[in-house]
Amino acid sequence: MNNFTKISRKVWAQTIRDANRITKVEQKELTSFSNIVSVKDINEVYIPLVCYLYFFVRNKEQVLKSINRFVCTSNENKPFIIGISGPVAVGKTTMSRLLKILFEQFYPNLRVQLMSTDDFLYPNWQLKKKRLMSFKGFPESYNNKLLLDFLSDVASGQKEVFYPLYSQELSDILPGSYGKITNPNILIIEGINILQILSNDTMVMSDFFDFSIYIDASEDLIRTWFLQRFVHFLTMNRDNRASFYYPWANGPKSKAVAMAEKVWQTVNLVNLREYIEPTKDRSNMILHKTYQHRINKIYLRQY
């Protein structure tokens, strides 16, 4: 952590004017997708973060315009790509959605899209064929070539780039279904693997990111959040026969929780220690969480 500067919440929060803060009514709308983000965190951490990131977005736009004038080209459609990494269940998806909403609220002229690297997991049938089902989420379970090709197309400014879609409900890739990136100003990509370096690749995902954020927390808290999320999925899918969680939701809860605990110990914790946590120092910013997903430490990369 020698290459990071710690910024106090008080100093970070004071970087914006009171006029930019939100009310509890507005917060209810902002967090309709989740109840884990407080008004205090939105005002003191997330809104300053969006304002901070906008400096980089605007700077990239200005640099591209200057380059185009210098070499007489018209390539101004390269999006600003933000990567959000961290362990399973630490809140990457929630942060991604919240940043998108805040960007659109404070800078309505910007087109913002988001996606997850889960969309580049191999389908379950391929994972079974490769004997990787027990390693789902590990580096080898992703179609990294497809992911790098996708990032290359997006970063080069292509107007439409398609990608597979992963269903959390089915815990599998949706056959014949695709998402589409349509040349946004900002693309937010979240995933446990975005800062990883694979020895057999000449490029890495982080080559394509303009800014990266790692969400950190203690192992005990992450385990608690993972189990809480699993129980939540059981409740949501009790009547959904198509869901991966349906059999577990309609059996003994103790058996289901014991299975989730085993997954945490044998898969997620191992993946965290060996492949996810070691990438933390490669990020541009580290946001450390404590109880109730409250952000208590902010670190900015120096070099």
Let me know if residue 290 belongs to a domain: yes
pTM of the predicted protein model: 0.93
Number of separate domains in the chain: 1
Let me know if residue 75 belongs to a domain: yes
pLDDT given at position 33: 47
The helix or strand, by DSSP H or E, that contains position 48, with its residue range, turns out to be: helix 47-71
- Show pLDDT as tens, one digit a residue, over the chain (303 residues): 788 999 999 999 988 876 677 766 566 666 554 567 888 899 899 999 999 999 999 998 888 888 878 887 766 678 999 999 999 999 999 999 999 999 998 999 999 999 999 999 999 999 999 999 999 999 999 999 999 999 999 998 899 999 999 998 889 999 999 999 999 999 999 999 999 987 666 678 889 999 999 999 999 999 999 999 999 999 989 998 888 898 998 999 999 999 999 999 999 999 999 999 999 999 999 999 999 999 999 999 988
Q: Answer whether 120's CB lies under 8 Å from 141's CB.
A: no
What radius of gyration, in Å, describes the C-alpha atoms of the chain? 20
CA distances from 229 to 193, 208, 211 (A): 20, 31, 28
Alpha helices by DSSP H, 156-303: 219-236, 246-249, 253-263, 269-271
Q: What is the CATH number of the domain that holds 43?
A: 3.40.50.300
Let me know if residue 246 belongs to a domain: yes
pLDDT digits (tens, 9 = 90+) for 175-200: 999 999 999 999 999 999 999 987 66
Let me know if residue 60 belongs to a domain: yes
Assign 57 to helix, strand or coil.
Answer: helix
Domain range enclosing 276: 4-118+185-301
